[in-house]
């Protein structure tokens, strides 16, 4: 089924059940995390929390541990006791790993060099509903030390991975989810990155703190002026008929009209 959970996805450690409902109230969807956010000695209790503290399955993703780890099978066993059927596969690296989840909707988290290189094939799998990328694990897999330069922008290799995941998702009609912004107090930087994500075609952006949700939502919500302009452009297209035409000094063709349609979709029109 298509991914339609909204633009602001909030990670919540699965070993903190007192936060589950609060996260669900604040975000468009919650990613209950069984992987990096949970210490090894807390993973079993985190799995038990999935069934003991239920959320709306239509607005919940469970991040499970990588298929290469011993925790993978235990995560799947815990998941089977819940109504959750959308998972985020951490460190997804191959088609074969995704095929181990045939009855689940999978968001493949491509956050290693191998995962990024194989993300096209992964996106083509029928049960994959989306791709996400991760900068920090990617750089770690390369032996690097930082995904960002001194000015706060991503290094070239991180931008390449981001674009590759976005293109692969788009090529197969799957959702693309942008990586988290780790500098929590820097809401201005998050806003800039979220606006770029929305304009580039990312379906959603993951958040690691509730304060980030409103910023992401605002970035994805078209302004009133943009909605009016999109309506006027599409109305002009109906008057002009088919083919290329001019509107307010611009050449307008099919791709520009699809941009306008995307604006109205984001506005809920």
Specify the 3-state DSSP secondary structure of 172.
coil
- SS3 annotation, 43-66: HHHHHHHHHHCCCCHHHEEEEECC
Distance CA 199, CA 176 (A): 12
Where are the extended beta strands (E) located within 29-170?
Answer: 29-33, 60-64, 86-89, 105-110, 128-133
* Distance (Å) of CA 202 to CA 9, 25, 196: 12, 23, 9
- Residue 76 phi, psi dihedral angles, 5° rounding: -65, -40
The verdict on whether residue 63 carries a ligand-binding annotation is yes
**Residues for the chain: how many in total?**
269
Distance CA 236, CA 238 (A): 5
The verdict on whether residue 111 carries a ligand-binding annotation is yes
* Distance (Å) of CA 21 to CA 5, 48, 221: 16, 16, 24
* Distance (Å) of CA 218 to CA 190, 194, 203, 214: 11, 9, 14, 6
The verdict on whether residue 155 carries a ligand-binding annotation is no
Burial class (CB in 10 A: 0-12, 13-18, 19+), 202: buried
Binding-site members for Mg(2+) are 111, 137
Binding-site members for substrate are 63, 111
Binding-site members are 63, 111, 137
């Amino acid at each position: 089924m298509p991914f339609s959970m909204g633009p602001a996805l909030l990670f919540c450690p699965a070993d903190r059940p007192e936060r589950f409902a609060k996260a669900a109230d604040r975000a468009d969807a919650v990613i209950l995390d069984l992987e990096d956010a949970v210490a090894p000695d807390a993973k079993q209790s985190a799995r038990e929390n999935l069934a003991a503290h239920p959320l709306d399955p239509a607005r919940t993703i469970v991040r499970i541990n990588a298929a290469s780890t011993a925790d993978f099978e235990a995560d799947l066993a815990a998941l089977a006791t819940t109504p959750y059927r959308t998972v985020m596969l951490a460190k997804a690296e191959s088609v074969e790993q995704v095929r181990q989840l045939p009855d689940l909707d999978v968001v493949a988290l491509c956050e290693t060099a191998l995962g990024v290189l194989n993300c096209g094939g992964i996106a083509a799998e029928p049960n994959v509903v989306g791709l996400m990328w991760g900068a920090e694990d990617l750089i770690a897999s390369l032996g690097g030390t930082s995904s960002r330069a001194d000015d706060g922008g991503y290094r070239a290799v991180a931008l390449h991975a981001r674009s590759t995941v976005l293109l692969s998702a788009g090529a197969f009609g799957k959702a693309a989810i942008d990586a988290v912004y780790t500098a929590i107090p820097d809401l201005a930087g998050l806003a800039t990155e979220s606006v770029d994500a929305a304009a580039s075609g990312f379906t959603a952006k993951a958040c690691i703190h509730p304060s980030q949700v409103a910023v992401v939502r605002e970035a994805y919500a078209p302004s009133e002026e943009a909605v009016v302009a999109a309506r006027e452009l599409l109305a002009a297209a109906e008057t002009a008929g088919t083919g290329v035409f001019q509107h307010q000094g611009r050449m307008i063709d099919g791709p520009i009209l699809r941009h306008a349609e995307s604006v109205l979709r984001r506005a809920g029109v």
